């Protein structure tokens, strides 16, 4: 058991789908995520993120990953939380899967965002990590809906959303590099998730975390 689990139970949370594990990053995982950012996440000619943080110099990107994660921990509250989980496949940290919510106990709505290192793309990991995190949301936290969005040209993200049963839910204009770009919103309802074929997902260590998500009682786990 991680020595901080008693006071920050999220360190004990594990979500597993096939050979992919999602977990709160410890010191070594953070170092690996920083190296992934330094090495590159996408072709510099495109920008898949609404905030263009990957336009920074490699060392600045790496440091920014650490600052971002520490900041999310420092500002966590039961009414507004950002759960950023290291994606580990076959024992190797390959990227990050985030899920976040505002007033979750009332709205039961989550949104997700993620990235994979360039060397780890195109291997089906994107689908497995999204399967894992939406299972955590629906089966573990009793969410009613999960949302995602993809900028024009980000076919990998859109493809994962469609494969998991999300439906298009309108568009919006964004400008990560100062030029208007269309983003497509995607919505996955609980009903549609229940109807969609999906792989087995295992969740470990959730119950002591529930108060951090603003939830009382035992986990919903199905």
Q: In what side-by-side order are the strands of the sheet with 201-204?
A: 167-174, 181-189, 145-151, 109-116, 92-102, 80-89, 20-23, 14-17, 201-204
Domain residue spans of the chain: 9-213
Longest dimension (CA), the chain: 48
| Structure tokens, 159 | 């493809």
- For residue 165, what pLDDT is reported? 96
Question: What's the rounded Cα separation, in Å, for the pair 112 and 210?
Answer: 19
- For residue 216, what pLDDT is reported? 84
Considering only CA atoms, which of 35, 136, 28 is closest in space to residue 91? 28
At 66-124, the pLDDT tens digits run 999 999 999 999 999 999 999 999 999 999 999 999 999 999 999 999 999 999 999 99
132 neighbors 20 (Cβ within 8 angstroms): yes
Residue 24 has pLDDT above 80, yes or no: yes
Question: What's the rounded Cα separation, in Å, for the pair 143 and 189?
Answer: 9
At 174-191, the pLDDT tens digits run 999 999 999 999 999 999
Residue 53 has pLDDT above 90, yes or no: no
Place of tokens 């990953």: 65
177 neighbors 153 (Cβ within 8 angstroms): no
Question: What's the rounded Cα separation, in Å, for the pair 135 and 208?
Answer: 18
- Model confidence at 220, in pLDDT bands (50, 70, 90)? low
- For residue 3, what pLDDT is reported? 82
Instruction: Output the CATH code of domain 9-213.
Output: 3.40.630.30
41 neighbors 51 (Cβ within 8 angstroms): no
Predicted TM-score (pTM) of this structure:
0.94
Considering only CA atoms, which of 126, 164, 159 is closest in space to residue 145? 164
Checking DSSP bridges between strand 181-189 and strand 92-102, what pairing results, if any?
A: unpaired
At 123-172, the pLDDT tens digits run 999 999 999 999 999 999 999 999 999 998 889 999 999 999 999 999 99
More confident residue, 52 or 141: 141
Residue 134 CB contacts under 8 Å (≥ 6 apart), including other chains:
112, 146, 164, 188, 193
Residue 41 has pLDDT above 80, yes or no: yes
- For residue 10, what pLDDT is reported? 97
- For residue 222, what pLDDT is reported? 61
- Model confidence at 6, in pLDDT bands (50, 70, 90)? very high
Question: What's the rounded Cα separation, in Å, for the pair 121 and 41?
Answer: 9
């Amino acid at each position: 058991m991680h020595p901080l689990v008693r006071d920050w139970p999220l360190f004990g949370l594990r979500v597993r789908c096939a050979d992919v594990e999602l977990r709160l990053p410890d010191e070594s995982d953070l170092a690996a995520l920083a190296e992934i950012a330094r090495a590159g996440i996408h072709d510099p000619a495109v920008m898949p993120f609404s905030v263009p943080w990957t336009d920074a110099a490699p060392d600045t990107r790496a440091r920014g990953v650490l600052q971002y994660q520490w900041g999310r921990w420092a500002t966590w509250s039961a009414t507004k939380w950002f759960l950023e989980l290291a994606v580990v496949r076959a024992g190797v940290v390959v990227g990050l899967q985030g899920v976040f919510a505002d007033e979750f106990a009332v709205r039961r709505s989550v949104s997700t965002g993620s990235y994979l290192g360039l060397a780890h793309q195109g291997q089906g990991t994107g689908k497995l990590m999204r399967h894992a995190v939406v299972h955590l949301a629906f089966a573990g936290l009793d969410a009613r809906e999960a949302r995602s969005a993809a900028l024009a040209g980000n076919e990998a993200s859109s493809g994962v959303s469609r494969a998991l049963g999300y439906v298009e839910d309108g568009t919006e204009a964004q400008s990560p590099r100062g030029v208007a770009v269309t983003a497509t919103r995607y919505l996955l309802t609980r009903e549609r998730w229940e109807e969609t074929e999906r792989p087995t997902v295992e969740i470990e260590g959730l119950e002591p975390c529930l108060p951090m998500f603003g939830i009382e009682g035992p986990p919903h786990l199905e």
